[in-house]
Structure 1
Amino acid sequence: MGVEVQVTFDCADPGALVEFWAYAVGGTVQPPPDGFASWAEALTAWGVPISEHNSRSAVIDPGGVTPRLFFQRVPEPKTAKNRVHLDLRAAPGLTGASRTGSAWAT
């Protein structure tokens, strides 16, 4: 169809959230473009001010199955309940310790 779906989150600190969500969903922080060792290197080469280096980031699924999660910095603080959110279902159908492999899950 030629359309890719991504879920976009407005936030104050994309860099912090992208690390959490990459771990939570088993994804990968989107790597920098070819030819650059880091996003900081790429953004500096493109003339992006340092103050904008943490203005956006993304989590990708290395297998290409799930949508990209995109985090963009916005200036206004959160003032109301989010209308869209992600729910993570951990081991659907399992109960207790078998859900996480630890005894604390009941």
Structure 2
Amino acid sequence: MAAIKKFQVTFDCAEPERLARFWCEVLGYVVPPPPEGFATWDAFKRSQPPEQRDAWFACMDPSGVGPRLYFQRVPEGKAAKNRVHLDVRVGTG
């Protein structure tokens, strides 16, 4: 069996960029650079059809060790308990 090199955790949500930026703050993650050919994420979004703007956003561990977090907009609201959650331990050292 081949070893997994990288993986991401995907979350369905209503506001992908807002949630991704929240987790960047909590985990010390960063927003990846915008796609090639775009100076900023805002420039990339303006190039997209209106219905695709704000459809997804991601954040990543700057060291490359932790998983990429991917947030995708879904039309339906949350109907049940979250099946995936991130446990964060805060402390010194």
Listed as ranges, the gaps of 5+ residues in structure 1 are 100-106
Classify the secondary structure of the residue corresponding to 2:72: strand
Higher relative contact order (CA 8 A, sep 6+): 2
Identical-residue share of aligned pairs (%): 49
Residue number in structure 2 paired with 1:79: 79
Q: Find runs of 4+ consecutive structure 1 residues off by over 6 angstroms.
A: none
Report if aligned partners of 2:45, 2:54 keep a CA contact under 8 Å in 1: no
Structure 2: how far apart are the matches of 1:83 and 1:76? 16
Deviations 1:14-73 (A, max 9, x none): 01101100000000012202331112323444xx21232111000111110000000000
* Mapping for residues 1-106 of structure 1, pairs under 5 Å: 1=3, 3-45=5-47, 48-91=48-91
State the aligned residue count: 91
TM-score scaled by structure 2?
0.85
TM-score scaled by structure 1?
0.76
Structure 2: how far apart are the matches of 1:87 and 1:29? 20
